[in-house]
Amino acid sequence: MLAVKYRLSLNSARQVLAAGINYRKEQKRYATLNMQTINPLVKEVEYAVRGPIVIRAGEIERQLKDKHDYPFDRVIRANIGDCHASGNQAPITYIRQFVAGCTYPEIMNSPDFPRDVKQRVERLLSACGGKSLGSYTESQGIITIREDVAAYIQQRDGYPADANNIYLCNGASDGIKTVIKLLMNNDPAKPSGIMIPVPQYPLYSATLSEYGAHQIEYYLDEDNNWALNIDELERSLNEAKSKCVPRGIVVINPGNPTGQVLARDNIENVIRFAHKHQLFVMADEVYQENVYLPGSKFFSFKKVLMDLGAPYNQMEMASFHSASKGWHGECGSRGGYYELINLDKDVRMQVNKLISACLCSTSWGQAVMGAIISPPREGEESYELYKKERTMVVNRLKEKADLVSQLFNSVEGVRCNAVMGAMYAFPRIEIPKKAIEYAKSKKMAPDAFYCFQLLEKTGICVVPGSGFKQRPGTHHLRTTILPPVDQMKDMVERFRTFHMSFLREWK
């Protein structure tokens, strides 16, 4: 009797289990988020610097560790401006000592710890809650660092700067997104329009897509070292007025991806144009310390605006700097700042309210930014080593800036403007009509197809010009100048061999 009951119980359990399995097979998981319900603006965001070609480069790198059939043994990553990741640049000793002291104050008891760094660390920590870098900071950032940023700007431009106008942020990108957010009108019928250069750094198009803004694209003048042409600015603005309410203009100087350094008179004309059309000026100046070409000089938009006097010196403007870029290259710290000038006092209160919702930017990034804009002074203990390391890095970048444009211009079907500043070259490449048609049949941009082929056959990872936007009918690629000199030479020779083979194949 007991055995019969056991068999009945077992059969019942099996039936229940089977029913449950069938139920789960029939039941579909309810997804609140799918491709139909996700914010449609998110789907519009693109960021080529970390796009599909870079993902494929990572896959190839993993495959190279095992037995493989690639005609190369390493991937040359020239897709992103990450100085330390290039393997060619060690961190600056002073910056790391400063951050080490801020993070672990006990290390300052070492007799090898420089006195001037110790003094700077103690000053910064005295402005932190509990004298710890791990505490929340003021929403605008640690006051001593903002004071140092103001002093840096004043020394650079010769005009007063106020620490209350300085906002420390998680890399310049964070500050740029904050300022663009202020300019939005949230009217889908006629949204805010922001003028952005073409070619442009993809952060701008991605952010404007995310915010539902209109991108007013103006073309840089490739035949004139990527200068800004005022007639072109007028054209792009006039064509956009029926689709949006123009609110601001972005200028990247020195240029990314184009590597130009704007002449002073060019900046003056842009400021006059912005004043004429009542546009908020956004000056992306993160490469201001990277100028290589003899005769070129960086002029900040703020300095030129102030030099012009009234009424231009009353214009609203934001300028941006970063710990990631420049010669120091502390990308992972996510340090940066922006300066806001001539803002309405009520608007400034709204800005302060907005950033306070995020509490503060990372204090580690703030500390790195503080070290960058307040380096050792002559006569201080850290100065000689700092000067030696900085000179070495800058000279190496100057050498490669000159080298890369020479090498690309020696390749048939390639034209490259001089790399005047920043960290990039943006050569124009000839792509045969047959290859263009084939790429389009595969729903690919022709230069994206070209760059995929370049990666698969040579191991060179660069970003297609279409990822930065470009004048229709032209094709480019962006490469950094960060790899070591021997790798740069090797890269261009691999590129030369590939390009000539590509032309033969598709002609």
What pLDDT was estimated at residue 43? 63
Q: Apex CA 436: angle with CA 431 and CA 440, to 5°?
A: 150
227-282 pLDDT, tens per residue?
999 999 999 999 999 999 999 999 999 999 998 999 999 999 999 999 999 999 99
**In angstroms, rounded to a whole number, what is the distance separating the alpha carbons of residues 185 and 415?**
41
Map residue 57 onto helix, strand or coil.
Answer: helix
Task: Give the three-state DSSP class for 428.
Answer: strand
- Give me 157's structure tokens: 């431009």
* pLDDT at residue 333, as a whole number: 77
Higher pLDDT pick, 176 / 67: 176
Task: Residue 322: name the closest of 331, 309, 311 by CA.
Answer: 331
For residues 277-299, give the mean pLDDT.
93
Mean pLDDT for all residues in the chain:
87
DSSP string, 138-196: -TT--HHHHHHHHHHHHHHHSS---GGGEEEESHHHHHHHHHHHHT----SSS-EEEEE
Q: Each residue of 43-54: pLDDT tens digit?
A: 666 655 557 888
Residue-level pLDDT at 489: 84
406-442 pLDDT, tens digit each: 888 998 889 999 999 988 899 999 999 999 999 999 8
What is the distance, to the nearest Å, from the Cα of residue 74 to the centroid of all Cα atoms in its chain?
Answer: 25
The pLDDT of residue 1: 47
**92 secondary structure, DSSP code:** P
| pLDDT reported for residue 29 | 63
What DSSP line would sit under 475-498, residue for residue?
A: -BEEEES-S-HHHHHHHHHHHHHH
Q: What are phi and psi of 444, to 5 degrees?
A: -125, 145
Quick: pLDDT tens for 313-328.
999 999 999 988 878 8
Quote the percentage of the chain above a pLDDT of 70.
89
The pLDDT, as a whole number, for residue 364 is 87
Mean pLDDT calculated for residue range 102-127: 91
Domains recognised in the chain with CATH numbers: 48-88+386-506 (3.90.1150.10), 99-373 (3.40.640.10)
Antiparallel, parallel or unpaired: β 463-464 and 477-480: antiparallel
* Residue 168 scores a pLDDT above 90: yes
Mean predicted confidence (pLDDT) in 34-51: 65
* High-pLDDT (> 90) share of the chain, %: 50
Q: Of residues 400 and 244, which shows the higher confidence score?
A: 244
Q: In what order do the strands lie in the sheet with 317-322?
A: 166-169, 336-341, 317-322, 280-284, 245-252, 192-198, 214-219
| 151 has pLDDT over 80 | yes
The runs of H, that is alpha helices, within 27-161 are: 40-43, 52-64, 93-103, 115-125, 143-157
pLDDT at 254: 93
pLDDT tens column, 53-76: 888 888 888 988 888 888 888 888
CA distance linking residue 113 with residue 346, whole number of Å? 46
pTM over 0.75: yes
Question: Distance (Å, rounded) from C-alpha 423 to C-alpha 394?
Answer: 11
- H-helix or E-strand containing 259? none
